Chain A
Amino acid sequence: MKKTINIPLGSQHIALLEPVRFSFTCENETIVGVEADVGYVHRGVELACTTTFKFKQVGYVVARVCGLCAIIHSTCYTLAAEELMGQEVPRRASYLRLIANELDRIHSHMLCLAHTAENAGFEALFMRTMKDRELVMEAQEAMTGNRVQFDYVSIGGVNRDITTDIEALIRQRLGLLKEKVGEIKELFENNWSLSLKYKGVGIITAENAYRNSALGPLARASGIDFDVRNESAYLPYGELGFASVTMSEGDIHARNMVRLLEVFESIRLIESALDGLPEGEIAAKVRGTPEGESYMRVEAPRGECFYYLKASKGQYLDRVRIKTPTFGSVPAMIEALKGANYADAPAIIASFDPCLSCTAR
């Protein structure tokens, strides 16, 4: 007689925000085999970027790859295109890009924390985190003019400047947020039922993380100090003294703590960027067309976001290759799910913060 049973999770499931299908092979309660299927929301963005849209418009198209890290995608594309064109960017624009990226990271991390709390059965914490997330959403809306699709970055600089009013608003909202996130952190650390659901569940060891090319908060929770913000000189993280956050446990709790501590780090980065915001233009005049190949990475909330561009002096690009963090962390996700209890699966999946519309693009 067969000893295992197959249980599907997804593509539509109450614990999943977005469509992904897992097929678990279970022995009693323990998961022994996992198969993942992504790509239910494929929209052909890579093809559209090379056929329908000109290179100046592609920045707005790739922002539609993902609603949560829209600005990261357009920043990464813009940096890659600027590299190909030899385009200069004013320092003020670089700083503004960094502020927008970090605000985006805060709101994405807060969404993920809310979602992990919900999947652990803690609805009240979910509501509370989402309520506090509204503070950073307002700051973003004031800065960029939109709530979800910012359309803030364009080739040569950024689209709008910040005034002293907006700066004061961002500072005030971030000050409030720091307090609230402190309270949430206390809950995540000390709440007894949350620690039952999180501690020692879904462990990825450092060795496994290296083997599966883990990235983002996932790698940092396993003790690997791997952060693109340290490894890329295209945004002024070095000037602001960025320090990455690492934990060593590698379980869901560690991943949540990395996210919470990164929120504080992001707030600190934004505040010091606002303090040292250089004066000057926000956009330079765009000259020429892209030519050659470029490889560009930006740290998205979920890990590294990679763009490869190839162009040959035309209005249309030859090839746009997008690698999104969730797609790269699916093997690590499978590794973490093996050996776990089936009942823990939703919490483990949520702790990876999967973004499937990024993945399938």
Chain B
Amino acid sequence: MFKALLNALKNLFSAPATLNYPFVSSPKHQGARGLILFDEPKCVWCLKCEEVCPPGAIRFTQDRESYAYTYHYNPYLCIYCAECVRACPDKAQALSQCSELSRPTSDPFMNDAWFALEKEAEDSKEAVKELKKAKKTEETPQP
């Protein structure tokens, strides 16, 4: 009882345990998880990261003429699990994780744009596959 009273008095004059958040940023631990960074020149375009990403925050679209891939990343969908970083082949190491978090956005149509991009990622790969198939049958002489 006496100890509790002493504690109460001590707490009365000590600084608050909480942070004055928007003005004081909260301390970060070393190795805190954050956004995924992409280093394009290193990429070998194996698309493993797209396959393993649990929420589907990494998408590749393919150009219909040059067959070149483009990397897309949705920082608001990412859960920072770094599964993609582990899936990236050892010789490439194109992906890495920083401790920065995504910033709040005021774009109300962000989801629509991403859904369109997801559809485009599926469609473009499908289209390129078709194109390649057509080309192959064209090249091989018909018996």
Contacts and interface: CB of A to CB of B under 8 A. Distances in A.
A and B touch in the complex (CB under 8 A): yes
B17 A134 contact: yes
Contacts of A314: none
Given A131-B17, A145-B32, A187 B4 contact: yes
A44 to B, nearest CB: 16
B79 A60 contact: yes
B100 interface: no
A154 interface: yes
A41 B83 CA distance: 28
Contacts of B3: 183
Given A160-B31, A165-B30, 15 more contacts: A56-B52, A57-B52, A57-B54, A60-B83, A61-B54, A134-B17, A142-B31, A145-B32, A146-B32, A146-B80, A151-B81, A151-B82, A154-B83, A183-B7, A187-B4
B29 A149 contact: no
Nearest to B81: A151
B4 A141 contact: no
Given A61-B54, A131-B17, A159 B82 contact: yes
Nearest to B87: A56
A53 B82 contact: no
Contacts of B7: 183
B29 A138 contact: yes
A142 B81 contact: no
Contacts, number: 43
B86 interface: yes
Interface string A156-183: 0001100001000000000000000001
9 contacts: A56-B52, A57-B54, A60-B79, A134-B17, A146-B33, A151-B33, A151-B81, A154-B83, A165-B30
Which of A124, A145, A146, A154 neighbours the largest number of chain B CB atoms within 10 Å of its CB?
Answer: A145
A141 B29 contact: yes
Which of A57, A138, A183, A190 neighbours the largest number of chain B CB atoms within 10 Å of its CB?
Answer: A57
Nearest to B27: A138
Interface in A198-214: none
Nearest to B17: A131
A153 to B, nearest CB: 11
A154 B82 CA distance: 11
A240 B114 CA distance: 49
B99 to A, nearest CB: 8
A112 B82 CA distance: 31
A142 B80 contact: no
A77 to B, nearest CB: 13
A131 B80 CA distance: 27
A151 B53 CA distance: 13
Nearest to A154: B83
A159 B85 CA distance: 11
Nearest to A142: B29
Contacts of A190: 1
Contacts of B81: 60, 151, 159
A53 B83 contact: no
> Can you list the 10 inter-chain pairs with the closest CB atoms, starting with the nearest?
A145-B33, A151-B81, A60-B54, A57-B54, A131-B17, A142-B29, A141-B29, A146-B33, A145-B32, A145-B31
Contacts of A160: 31
A133 to B, nearest CB: 11
A134 B82 CA distance: 25
